[in-house]
Each structure stands twice: as structure tokens, then as C-alpha cells.
């Protein structure tokens, strides 16, 4: 997996949880509506079952997000250059664009792109070291 895809996993999981949370609210609204209607017991039971399944999926995704956040944060902290660490955090943890990141860091967009490229290179090296350590049994 390339460094961008690796780091993007965190934001993708956050987005998935938000989507599931929105869906859960729609299901709750549907359940409340069905409770008020007589003769809708079968549909209500199905909606409640779907709501329970959605809650369980949110819990699984939240657990995954917490693990990913710890792992991505660990990788970012291993980047030695402070500007690169800040950029990676802004882009891959907070979900900022490079334009926003340039403004926050008081750099030009071009400079920010350069720092981003260098930071991804650093992450690639760290991931390669981690993969090598995993294969050799050292952690």
C-alpha cells in the first residue's frame, strides 16, 4: 500500500462512521414513525433489526478507527521533521486540503506540496522499515 493510501484509511473510516451515524438517525426516525402507525409491526421489527445491525457496524468501525488513529499517529510521530509531521496531521488526521494547510502553516501552496511530497517519502521509508521488521520477527 502506498503512503497516501495508508494514511487516507483514517479519514475514510471517519467518513464511513459519519455515514453510518446519519443512516442510524434515519432508521430511528423511521422506527418512531412506524411505532405511531397501527398494523406496521412487521416493518417496525425489520427497521429495529436494521437499526441494531447499524449500531453494531458503527461500533466495529469505531474500534477500527481508534486502532487506525493510533497506528497512523505512531507513523506520523516517527517522521523527524516537525513541518512534515504537522502537515501530515493536518491533511490525514484533520482532513484539511493542501490549500488550507498552506494557509495554516504560512507557506506557499508550492512549498506545501514539496513538504507533502517529502513527508510521504518519509512515511514510505517508515512503512518499509515496519514491514521489514514484521517479516524478520522484530517489533
Name the nearest CA neighbour of 64 among 103, 107, 16: 16
Indicate the pLDDT class of residue 127, thresholds 50, 70 and 90. Answer: very high
Q: In 1-105, at which residue ranges do the beta strands (DSSP E only) sit?
A: none
CA-CA-CA-CA dihedral for 24, 28, 30, 36, to nearest 10: 170
Percent of the chain with pLDDT over 90: 43
Pairwise CA distance, residues 89 & 11, whole Å: 11
Indicate the pLDDT class of residue 102, thresholds 50, 70 and 90. Answer: very high
Cα 48 versus chain centre, distance: 28
- pLDDT at 38 (0 to 100): 66
Amino acid at each position: 500500500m502506498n503512503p497516501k493510501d495508508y494514511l487516507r484509511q483514517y479519514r475514510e473510516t471517519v467518513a464511513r462512521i459519519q455515514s453510518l451515524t446519519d443512516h442510524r438517525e434515519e432508521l430511528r426516525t423511521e422506527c418512531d414513525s412506524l411505532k405511531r402507525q397501527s398494523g406496521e409491526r412487521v416493518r417496525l421489527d425489520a427497521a429495529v433489526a436494521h437499526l441494531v445491525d447499524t449500531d453494531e457496524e458503527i461500533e466495529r468501525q469505531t474500534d477500527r478507527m481508534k486502532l487506525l488513529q493510533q497506528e497512523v499517529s505512531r507513523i506520523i510521530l516517527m517522521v523527524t521533521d516537525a513541518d512534515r509531521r504537522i502537515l501530515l496531521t493536518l491533511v490525514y488526521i484533520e482532513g484539511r486540503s493542501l490549500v488550507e494547510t498552506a494557509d495554516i502553516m504560512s507557506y506557499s501552496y508550492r512549498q506545501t506540496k514539496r513538504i507533502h511530497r517529502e513527508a510521504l517519502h518519509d512515511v514510505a521509508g517508515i512503512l518499509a522499515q515496519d514491514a521489514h521488521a514484521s517479516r524478520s520477527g522484530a517489533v
